[in-house]
Amino acid sequence: MTSFSAPKGVPDYFPPTSASFLAVREALAEPARLAGYGYVELPVFEETALFARGVGESTDVVSKEMYSFNDRGERSVTLRPEGTAGVMRAVIEHGLDRGQLPAKLYYAGPFFRYERPQAGRYRQLQQVGVEAVGVDDPALDAEVIAIADAGFRSLGLTGYRLDITSLGDGSDRPQYREKLQAFLAKLPLDEATRTRANLNPLRVLDDKRPEVRALMDDAPLMLDHLAAETRAHYEQVKGYLDDLGVKFTENPRMVRGLDYYTKTTFEFVHDGLGSQSGIGGGGRYDGLMEQLGGQPLSGVGFGLGVDRTLLACQAEGLTPGDVTRCDVYGVPLGETAKSRLVGLSGELRAAGVRFDLAYGGRGMKGAMKAADKSGARYALVLGERDIEAGVAQLKELATGDQQAVPLTDVVTTVRKALDR
Ligand code: HAM
């Protein structure tokens, strides 16, 4: 019979790596909680139109990568490709925009994009994200960026940089777009690139092909065409980043794959990951809420890739989290001993000790091997003679040191030993 595999491009996480996965997700979320962001748990599917309108019809994400289908009630729904549109939908629907502002929210979970799978590019990807809605203060842009940076740093990561730029807004981008289009019109572009240039000229700035890059050397840049107000906003963001001690590189050619961005945009790029090097990105999206039928309120946020951050940790030789399964491993020699250790397992776990034991009637040798493999610090060995003497043997696996512990004191002794 043929067996099954996971859907193409979708990672499975299982022990011991899954412990690092959880630790990364936790490390990326903790700085958000410290800054007053509250958790939201939102649906993994939404009405298709939400993403079409929110993320933008011309983006690859919407035009090529969405998992959309009709449900049994003939409604078109889509597995969420990103988090911001859903958060805005929830903010509007539940009136969070009429409460205290900014509404500060964070989320963690899976997102779905039908991309061509490769190392670090998955069709089910995991993000930790934050959104701060309703206050247009450049200090908030800096806060959001600093939260992401703190998460990466808390994992011990060092091999990444932060790129920032400003994409302008309704007050200056239309004029800039015209300038860029006029520039592009004079270039000898191939058919496909010409079509892209007409649809979304900014995307051409990000073209990776050397021959197109060379042509784009003298292209006008948004950063040189900011209106006075957006320029001042951007300068303030950079000032606050300096206050926060967050280092950044200005990258005026940065292009994001989602249409809603205005003003500050940023990306964290890790240099140990090959082509899929973006470990997180975000920015301001001041028109989005109104576009989704809400009030004209501003917003700023990020999405950090948990999968890629884990890969970045691995590339730097870091193993976040505790990948061991247990602290103490029980080795019963005989049926009476097994019954005693099964009884102790409940007591030890209730006292917060991670305890496992050799099931399946393995002999001493096999059970000790299993103890080593489990990552436990101690083995708790119990034989017939020990029971007669009223003790168990607590053996430190790294050193081989062993002490007899009265059966009545096992829980307290083990707790003390583990605190050492
Ligand atoms: P994004 O840049 O599309 O932004 O995704 C954020 C992060 O998710 C990326 O930097 C990357 O680490 C990870 N990611 C994206 N696609 C994949 C993939 N196929 N495989 C593995 N990891 C991936 C957003 O999604 C915005 N919603 C972020 C945001 C929030 N902007 C404002 N608020």
Take atom 14 of ligand 1 and give the residue whose Cα is closest. 305
Give the start-to-end residue ranges of the domains of the chain.
Answer: 17-172+226-315, 328-419
Annotated binding site for L-histidine: 82-84, 113, 127, 131, 256, 260-261
pLDDT in tens, 334-365: 999 999 999 999 999 999 999 999 999 889 99
Take atom 18 of ligand 1 and give the residue whose Cα is closest. 121
328-419 is a CATH 3.40.640.10 domain: no
Pick among 3.40.50.1820, 3.30.930.10, 3.10.150.10, 2.60.40.10: CATH of 17-172+226-315: 3.30.930.10
- Ligand 1 atom nearest the C-alpha of 256 is 2
Distance (Å) from CA 305 to ligand 1 centroid:
6
Within this chain, domains 17-172+226-315 and 328-419 share the same CATH topology: no
**What pLDDT does 208 receive?**
85
Q: In sequence order, what are the residues at sequence separation of 6 or more whose Cβ sits closer than 8 angstroms to the Cβ of residue 373? A: none
Annotated binding site: 82-84, 113, 127, 131, 256, 260-261
Take atom 10 of ligand 1 and give the residue whose Cα is closest. 280
Whether the CB-CB separation of 102 and 117 falls below 8 Å is answered with: no
Name the nearest CA neighbour of 168 among 216, 134, 142, 202: 202
Per-residue model confidence as pLDDT tens for the chain (420 residues): 899 999 999 999 999 999 999 999 999 999 999 999 999 999 999 999 999 999 988 889 999 999 999 999 999 999 999 999 999 999 999 999 999 999 999 999 999 999 999 999 999 999 999 999 999 999 999 999 999 999 999 999 999 999 999 999 999 999 999 999 999 999 999 999 998 888 889 889 888 899 999 999 999 999 999 999 999 999 999 999 999 999 999 999 998 889 999 999 999 999 999 999 999 999 999 999 999 999 999 999 999 999 999 999 999 999 999 999 999 999 999 999 999 999 999 999 999 999 999 999 889 999 999 999 999 999 999 999 999 999 999 999 999 999 999 999 999 999 999 998
Beta bridge mates, 24: none
25-61 burial code (b ≥16 CB/10 A, e <16)? bbbbbebbeebebeebeeeeebebebbbbbbbeebbb
Q: Which residues line ligand 1 (CB under 6 A)?
A: 82-84, 113, 115, 120-122, 125, 127, 129, 131, 257-258, 278-283, 285, 301-303, 305, 307-308
Take atom 28 of ligand 1 and give the residue whose Cα is closest. 303
Backbone angles phi, psi at 354, to 5 degrees: -75, 110
CA 268, 269, 272, 276 dihedral sign is positive
